[in-house]
């Protein structure tokens, strides 16, 4: 494999022959010389190829090149006399590998992100999406590194599931039945006993329950995989298909979970800042000029920790008028979360001990019998980025909670069984991977931090 532009630009000094392959960002032609800016996606920067009449292919090829053309160029790596780059390639030959039509939609000029979504097959070639995909990659790697270094074992939780988990969101059905003419049972209802899995099946909304199973054997585990929600929600923070990171720890309580969440975010931010400095510089310059300061802040400042009750007090006492009411027992709204993290504390905030009525059945019931061991991490701009809890590991308490909420115990038989055999305190959280990338890059719309977004009414590409 040939040397990437990233590797060439990282050379200690000029000199020597190089060959690069990539796509033209722009071509500047004057009478005796052409400047080609070539990118291969290996790093934010492209490399400048300078071709004159002595270059093989100058008249036939180089003069006709424009934005988008795929080329192969060979020559000598030299120090650039122009400002704007340290090295450039003095070309001895340039060959066209793949030309572009007159209707090639990408210009060297800035495009709107909305337009780029309509050409998702070409948008990775833009500065912005290229940077997003490199940061996304670095973030995924940093996540694996964090857990692997600490002895967490990755669990591959299933994509197809029969249970609807915590009942979170609407589910995508998985079926091989003929939708035009499904088999019916005696009462005329669709007979899923004849379906592929002999039961109604769905795409997973979370790997949590499976992670709990694994944690109660391997102690420290995590999942990192796609999840699916069929909610008709159309916002800049929601996708129908997104990736979720879910660590789960045995012998861990809520405090331990909060420490893990903070160490996790700090290290991931640190690693991505080390891996993608040019990309982050670009986001800070062109997308959101607070990105670098925010990243530094997350790495350096301790997170604020407070209980739900304290959060309510702060919100009640402040002189801000909120659209939605603030009262103990009501869930925090987006505006409340943003006020706390963006304005009041100006840093990530860890809120714990929520009222049991607004949280899921599996969360640990505190001694006050009113609150549960829930934990949310709120960050500026994005809002809730992590949601987690200490799990209820006491069989009788869990059965009571299931009954209180009117859930069917039968459907959770194996989840309950885990509490009958070797049950221990355990805790875990879920992190929306795209929201993390949004936070890192400052991208306003979640559809622009995933290469192929799935949203209501649109799954093209």
Partner RNA sequence: UCCCCGGUAGCUCAGCUGGUAGAGCAGGCGGCUGUUAACCGCCGGGUCGUAGGUUCAAGUCCUACCCGGGGAGCCA
* Binding positions for RNA, 378-417, rule CB under 7 A: 383-387
Lookup: tokens for 111: 């495009």
Compute the distance between CA of residue 461 and CA of residue 10 in angstroms, rounded to an integer: 35
Cα angle at 233 between 232 and 239, to 5 degrees? 105
Binding residues for RNA restricted to 175-204, rule: CB under 7 A = none
Binding residues for RNA restricted to 68-97, rule: CB under 7 A = 80-85, 88, 90
CB of 433 to RNA, least distance (A): 8
Lookup: tokens for 269: 């931010």
Binding residues for RNA restricted to 337-356, rule: CB under 7 A = 338
What SS3 state is found at 8? helix
Helix, strand and coil percent figures for the chain, each rounded to 5: 35, 25, 40
Asked if residue 445 binds RNA (CB under 7 A), the reply is: yes
Which is closer to RNA, CB of 370 or CB of 384?
384
Compute the distance between CA of residue 350 and CA of residue 261 in angstroms, rounded to an integer: 9
CB of 313 to RNA, least distance (A): 20
Task: Compute how many residues bind RNA; rule: CB under 7 A.
Answer: 72
Which part of the chain contacts RNA (CB under 7 A), choosing from 151-159, 310-318, 334-342, 420-428?
A: 334-342
Compute the distance between CA of residue 79 and CA of residue 51 in angstroms, rounded to an integer: 15
User: Which residue among 31, 189, 317, 327 contacts RNA (CB under 7 A)?
Assistant: 31
User: Which residue among 1, 54, 109, 367 contacts RNA (CB under 7 A)?
Assistant: 109
CB of 138 to RNA, least distance (A): 19
- According to DSSP, the β-strands at 87-98 and 201-203 are unpaired
Which part of the chain contacts RNA (CB under 7 A), choosing from 112-120, 140-148, 262-270, 298-306?
A: 112-120
Asked if residue 301 binds RNA (CB under 7 A), the reply is: no
352-372 burial, b at 16+ Cβ within 10 Å, e below that, comes to bbbbbeebbbbbbbbeeeebb
- According to DSSP, the β-strands at 47-51 and 87-98 are parallel
Asked if residue 287 binds RNA (CB under 7 A), the reply is: no
Binding residues for RNA restricted to 119-138, rule: CB under 7 A = none
Asked if residue 171 binds RNA (CB under 7 A), the reply is: no
Beginning with the edge strand found earlier in the chain, give each strand of the sheet holding 160-161 in spatial order. 160-161, 201-203, 173-174
User: Which residue among 44, 432, 440, 449 contacts RNA (CB under 7 A)?
Assistant: 432
Binding residues for RNA restricted to 220-279, rule: CB under 7 A = 229, 231-240, 242, 244
Compute the distance between CA of residue 408 and CA of residue 63 in angstroms, rounded to an integer: 72
Asked if residue 110 binds RNA (CB under 7 A), the reply is: yes
Compute the distance between CA of residue 126 and CA of residue 355 in angstroms, rounded to an integer: 46
């Amino acid at each position: 494999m040939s040397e990437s532009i990233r590797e060439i630009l990282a050379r200690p000094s000029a000199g020597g022959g190089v060959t690069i392959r990539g796509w033209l960002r722009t071509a500047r032609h004057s009478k005796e010389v052409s400047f080609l800016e070539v990118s291969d996606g290996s790093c934010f920067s492209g490399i400048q190829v300078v071709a004159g009449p002595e270059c093989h292919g100058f008249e036939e090829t180089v003069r006709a090149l424009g934005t988008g053309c795929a080329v192969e160029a060979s020559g000598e790596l030299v120090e650039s006399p122009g400002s704007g780059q340290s090295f450039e390639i003095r070309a001895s030959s340039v060959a066209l590998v793949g030309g572009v039509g007159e209707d090639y939609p990408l210009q060297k000029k800035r495009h709107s992100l909305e337009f780029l979504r309509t050409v998702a097959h070409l948008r990775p070639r833009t500065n912005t999406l290229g940077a997003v995909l490199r940061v996304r990659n670095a973030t995924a790697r940093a996540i694996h590194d964090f857990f692997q270094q600490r002895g967490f074992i990755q669990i591959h939780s299933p994509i197809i599931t029969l249970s609807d988990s915590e009942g979170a969101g609407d589910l995508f059905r998985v079926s091989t039945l003929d939708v035009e003419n499904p088999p019916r049972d005696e009462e005329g209802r669709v007979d899923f006993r004849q379906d592929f899995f002999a039961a109604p099946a769905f795409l997973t909304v979370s790997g949590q329950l499976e992670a709990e199973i694994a944690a109660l054997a391997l102690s420290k585990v995590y999942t990192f995989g796609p999840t699916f929600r069929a909610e008709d929600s159309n916002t800049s923070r929601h996708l129908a298909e997104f990736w979720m990171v879910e660590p789960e720890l045995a012998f861990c309580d809520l405090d331990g979970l909060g420490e893990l969440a903070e160490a996790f975010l700090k290290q991931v931010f640190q690693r991505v800042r080390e891996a993608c400095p040019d990309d982050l510089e670009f986001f800070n310059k062109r997308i959101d000029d607070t990105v670098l300061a925010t990243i530094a802040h997350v790495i350096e400042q301790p997170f604020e920790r407070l209980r739900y009750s304290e959060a309510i007090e702060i919100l009640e006492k402040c002189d801000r008028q909120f659209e939605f009411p603030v009262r103990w027992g009501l869930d925090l709204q987006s505006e409340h979360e943003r006020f706390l993290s963006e304005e009041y504390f100006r840093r990530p905030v860890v809120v714990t001990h929520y009222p049991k009525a607004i949280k899921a059945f599996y969360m640990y019931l505190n001694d006050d019998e009113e609150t549960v061991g829930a934990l949310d991490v709120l960050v500026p701009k994005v809002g809730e980025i992590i949601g987690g809890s200490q799990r209820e590991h006491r069989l009788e308490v869990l059965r009571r909670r299931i009954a209180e909420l009117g859930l069917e115990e039968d459907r959770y038989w194996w989840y309950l069984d885990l509490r009958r055999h070797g049950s221990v305190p355990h805790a875990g959280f879920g992190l929306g991977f795209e929201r993390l990338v949004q936070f890192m890059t400052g991208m306003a719309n979640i559809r622009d931090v995933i290469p192929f977004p799935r949203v209501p009414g649109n799954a093209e590409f």
